[in-house]
Structure 1
Amino acid sequence: MWKSWKLHTDVRVREGAGGSPCASSQPGSRGPCFLPGLSLQELSRRRQFLREHAAPFSAFLTDSFGRQHSYLRISLTEKCNLRCQYCMPEEGVPLTPKANLLTTEEILTLARLFVKEGVDKIRLTGGEPLIRPDVVDIVAQLQRLEGLRTIGVTTNGVNLARLLPQLQKAGLSAINISLDTLVPAKFEFIVRRKGFHKVMEGIHKAIELGYNPVKVNCVVMRGLNEDELLDFAALTEGLPLDVRFIEYMPFDGNKWNFKKMVSYKEMLDTVRQQWPELEKLPEEESSTAKAFKIPGFQGQISFITSMSQHFCGTCNRLRITADGNLKVCLFGNSEVSLRDHLRAGASEQELLRIIGAAVGRKKRQHAGMFSISQMKNRPMILIGG
């Protein structure tokens, strides 16, 4: 099925919100789309001015170890149309009452504040972000924030093919699609729902619309899908995919144990046995992935080594949950409610002090896989990944 996909390689010039063409034809590059109505010359002069007069990075988003947090992940909803085994228990989880979830305006208010302080990348997560009715409008509003270079989404892909043309027009520039198996029957077992072919259609649509790379997130679990490592890697031969193999991580309700985890080293050895010529790619700053490429292949593979080789030292990520809590570490259980302070009428400076205090308390690194497995934390679906 995968090899029958037709790839469209024509370059489309996208239009910004003001109707003027974007300078960049690559969805992975925002170009001037986030400043609609300005000519290319005006944009060039503005960027040059900003480079020459750049302010120091926000002290509020810099922790006590000097890590600058320029990447914000915002969960749009706790709801999901799948029930992935590693994300939530089969019976589901108690959901936060709607009145306690962030409103659209509250999401945009917080995003505006973080971008003003130096955040240049926002990723929308969930739950499943694409089941939120106003997700396209949220992307369009974020796209207007000056200084925001990347708007990404992490999705299970079920609704992606239908919504992606609108999302791309609104300004979505990066896509991560969760897919843990290439076998339809196994897909239904892992996610406890149907939808395999819709996810495939979503990946196809992302490639068709020019997203490069299309990132595919695969959580590898022993006894379940570790036998598909080579099949996933082979997809990158003719497709612009970045297949990201993720070590299985412990969260409430996913029944994690060490024996289920397949380590980065084991996964890498498996791929190397098939492709000894596998090349290590340079690591990008603050990247969580160790990237490799098989010579001659169009795409690449990566490994997210959260458990066996943490990347805490270069972490630049902050998370806001759907109910408005700021989490400074995915594996930490410390949270502070920005929602409550917003609704109490906190000023921008008061919010910044609260954010700065939370960031300042961020630890040097997480506690390690065995301590994490015993720690009380939210199920993944209530964090937002």
Structure 2
Amino acid sequence: MSRINYLRISVTDRCNFRCRYCMPEGTKKFIPHSEILRYEEITEIVRVFTEFGIDSVRLTGGEPLVRKGIESLIVQIRELEEIRDISLTTNGFFLSEKVKSLKEHGLNRVNISIDTLEPEKFGFITGTGDTRTLSRVLHGLEKAIEEGLNPVKVNTVLIKGFNDKEIESFVKLSENYGVEVRFIELMPVGGKFFSRKNFISSTLIKKQIEKKFGKLIPVKTRGNGPAKSFIVEGTNAKLGFVSPISEHFCNSCNRVRLTSDGKLRLCLMSDKDIDLKSIIRNPSYRRPHLREVITEALLRKINIDGIRALENRGCLRKMFTIGG
């Protein structure tokens, strides 16, 4: 197992989209606001995690930009001298109006989720039903580039029969905007949307790209995350592939996750989590106790078999409650 240096933090389970693989149809119940971690609580947890080598933090949701005052959390985390990188994953809907403030308050970079470049299909997959939604998200992408939240990346979940015929368009998006498009295999997480008929492997998409454009040339990227990055030969397009199903990467996993309701998840596919909120909200809270619990948790991570959990049943908790 790699050194754990990356903490993903879900700041809310709420979202203005209803993406079909993330927030299944019919979802109406959300975590009560009182049960969501306060910014000060999140910062305290991050502070303790820095003692274990955490130096990179990613804010996720739900949609993190629907939570008020997200900039204040960025400022608090930025004040921790051990943290060298703060990033954010967003659906991009509110990005154009928030990006300048996010940058000024200390955000380093951003990933934007875009699963299709066709307006009607985008309205369908996001649950908005609005053909104008895509243009607003693309505007947010442009503003993020203008403000220098680099490297700006686009996250695209591969869905067979839905967007696998748009690969050429995504390659051109990468080239035209100068962003890395990361193709992510659809995962069996918390809903009925995933099935074998929806799944398409990164390997097939790579073959499709090489047949159309030419060789994919591997490039090194910062950190040791799950994405494998390539330059498309003869173009300026940069593509990443995240392949949890076809290319298990448990041995190189460098991350843990904190859910918005204060659960520490050591593996996305394992529903065994640790309640940190009950510790930090205890009137007799002391930092050494939290440090002890985190120490024991990280030791447990070594023994978690994410591959077996994936093959047995996948993750039962809905993706929007975890943060991906």
Q: TM-score, normalised by structure 1?
A: 0.79
Mapping for residues 241-260 of structure 1, pairs under 5 Å = 241-260=179-198
- Listed as ranges, the gaps of 5+ residues in structure 1 are 1-64
**Match of 1:55?**
none
- Listed as ranges, the gaps of 5+ residues in structure 2 are none
Bigger shift: residues 79-88 or 232-241 = 232-241
Bigger shift: residues 292-301 or 173-182 = 292-301
**Which letter maps to 1:351?**
L
- 4+ residue runs over 4 A deviation: none
**Match of 1:177?**
112
Q: CA deviation at 1:368?
A: 4.9
Percent identity over paired residues: 37
Instruction: Tell me which of 125, 128, 144 is aligned to 1:190.
Output: 125
Root mean square deviation, CA, Å: 1.6
SS at match of 2:110: strand
Once residues 262 and 20 of structure 2 are traced to their aligned partners in structure 1, the CA distance between those partners, rounded to angstroms, is 25
Matched, 1:79 2:14: yes
Instruction: Tell me which of 230, 242, 246 is aligned to 1:308.
Output: 246
**Match of 2:55?**
120
**Which letter maps to 1:117?**
F
- Say whether the 8 Å CA contact 1:327–1:336 is kept in structure 2: yes
Q: CA deviation at 1:299?
A: 4.0
**Match of 2:25?**
90
Q: CA deviation at 1:238?
A: 2.9
**Match of 1:381?**
320
SS at match of 2:65: helix
Instruction: Tell me which of 263, 274, 296 is aligned to 1:357.
Output: 296
Once residues 117 and 368 of structure 1 are traced to their aligned partners in structure 2, the CA distance between those partners, rounded to angstroms, is 27
**Match of 2:175?**
237
SS at match of 1:259: coil
**Which letter maps to 2:306?**
H
Instruction: Tell me which of 195, 214, 221 is aligned to 2:152.
Output: 214
Matched, 1:371 2:298: no
- Say whether the 8 Å CA contact 2:267–2:304 is kept in structure 1: no
- Higher Cα Rg, which structure: 1
**Match of 1:135?**
70
**Match of 1:106?**
41
Once residues 235 and 116 of structure 2 are traced to their aligned partners in structure 1, the CA distance between those partners, rounded to angstroms, is 21
Mapping for residues 31-50 of structure 1, pairs under 5 Å = none
Q: CA deviation at 1:376?
A: 5.2
- Say whether the 8 Å CA contact 1:78–1:381 is kept in structure 2: yes
**Which letter maps to 1:367?**
I
Instruction: Tell me which of 81, 93, 102 is aligned to 1:158.
Output: 93
**Match of 1:39?**
none
**Match of 1:35?**
none
Instruction: Tell me which of 80, 96, 103 is aligned to 1:168.
Output: 103
**Which letter maps to 1:314?**
S
Bigger shift: residues 90-99 or 279-288 = 279-288
SS at match of 1:204: helix
Q: TM-score, normalised by structure 2?
A: 0.94
Once residues 43 and 315 of structure 2 are traced to their aligned partners in structure 1, the CA distance between those partners, rounded to angstroms, is 30
**Which letter maps to 1:76?**
V
